[in-house]
Amino acid sequence: MNENFITTDGGKISISEEVISVISAIAAKEVEGRAAMGGNLLGGLSDILAKKNQGKGVKVEFGDNGLVIDVHITVKFGVKIREVSVAIQEQIKNAVETMAGLSIDTVNVFVDGVELEKAKTNESAE
């Protein structure tokens, strides 16, 4: 696992790729229109059950010009995919820069699927 070091007067601070991926995943989950991380159509249930893997769907690399973050998502049917993707890019950039103090080079968003709404059961009863 690569680590990035921030040098301070008191020494070095190391922030792992795993920490950055968790921050990125949590930030992405806050964006309306995202159904799941990692292209998983089970969405919220798997997000809750997989607490040990909170950075799921996020890949982080330390590059020469800053972090490169790849995020894989599933969006809800009917949303404007471009707007959701741009909002995720901005949310991740702000969260990582604010919390970790690291420079972001690129946030790539990969839309791997669309979650369809479930049909209302009471519509057929009428």
pLDDT in tens, 89-106: 999 999 999 999 888 999
Give the domain 3-115 fold: Alpha-Beta Plaits (3.30.70)
pTM, entire model:
0.77
The arithmetic mean of pLDDT across residues 78-98, rounded, is: 96
Cα(78)–Cα(75) distance, rounded to whole angstroms?
A: 9
b/e per residue, 26-61, with b = 16+ CB within 10 A?
bbbbebebbbbbbebeeeeeebeeeeebbbbbbebe
Across 29-52, average pLDDT: 66
